[in-house]
Amino acid sequence: MSRVAWSLEVAKDRCMGSGMCAALAPELFRLDDAERAEPVRRDIAADERALDAADSCPALAIAVREGPRTVGPRP
C-alpha cells in the first residue's frame, strides 16, 4: 500500500484549462465541467508525474506539497 506523501493543489483562478496536466498524468489530474484542472485525489504517494505536470503547467497553477514544503513546480 502506498504511503500518502504529497498533496496536489490547483489554483482555479490561475488555471487556463490547457489540459497539459491531464494529458501528462491522467491518473492524477482531470478537467472539470468548466474545463479547469482538478486533482483526481488530493493526497497521493510521491509521484514524478505530479512534478512533471506542475512543471508543464503554462499558468503555474499546480502546486505539489510535501507537508508545508512546496516540491513542485521545480525551479
* Cα 25 → chain centroid: 9
Residue appearing with cell numbers 516540491? 71
For the entire predicted model, the pTM comes to 0.91
What are the boundaries of each domain within the chain? 6-69
The third-level CATH classification (topology) of the domain covering 6-69 is Alpha-Beta Plaits (3.30.70)
Which tens digit of pLDDT belongs to each residue from 4-31? Answer: 799 999 999 999 999 999 999 999 999 9
pLDDT surpassing 70 at residue 2: no
Instruction: Supply φ then ψ for residue 30, to 5 degrees.
Output: -145, 165
